[in-house]
Amino acid sequence: MKTTQLKTSQFLGAVFLSILGVSSGAQAETYQGVQTVNSAVSRADVSAQARAAARAGDQFSEASYGGTAPVMNSGLTRDAVRAQASQAARQGDIYSDAALYGFPAPTVGQADRAAVRAQAREAARNTTAVPL
């Protein structure tokens, strides 16, 4: 196993570079006080320019269009859209597994809630316990 020894010139060079790095990084900023603004434009002009820039929209946006989106016209009336929505709601969840794989949609029973509870209690009373 070969050991390397630093020569005196290499050691002094490393020390010099480290001192140079520390001394150049330790500089403080000076305080200039409160800066005064000397503007040739009045407040009213600046306000008008700000309103015009706000109306112009974001010049740096990534949208392919500026301003508002174009109005989409489907050709259907509001009543026709509502009728389609009601029909879709009656058919159930079109994104469920039942719709995707052809299972029948769940139906809503016509039984009264109190009657269903009474049937459940009666079934629980008449059930014999199964030993474990």
Assigned domain for 57 exists: no
Evaluate whether 83 touches 97 at the Cβ level (below 8 Å).
Answer: no
pTM of this structure: 0.24
| pLDDT exceeds cutoff 60 at 132 | no
Q: Which domain holds residue 88?
A: 79-105
What separation, in Å, do the N-terminal and C-terminal C-alpha atoms of the chain show?
A: 74
**Domains contained in the chain, number:** 1
Q: Rounded to the nearest 10 degrees, how much is the dihedral formed by the CA atoms of 7, 9, 15, 16?
A: -170
| pLDDT exceeds cutoff 60 at 21 | yes
Assigned domain for 98 exists: yes
Assigned domain for 50 exists: no
Evaluate whether 86 touches 80 at the Cβ level (below 8 Å).
Answer: no
| pLDDT exceeds cutoff 70 at 102 | no
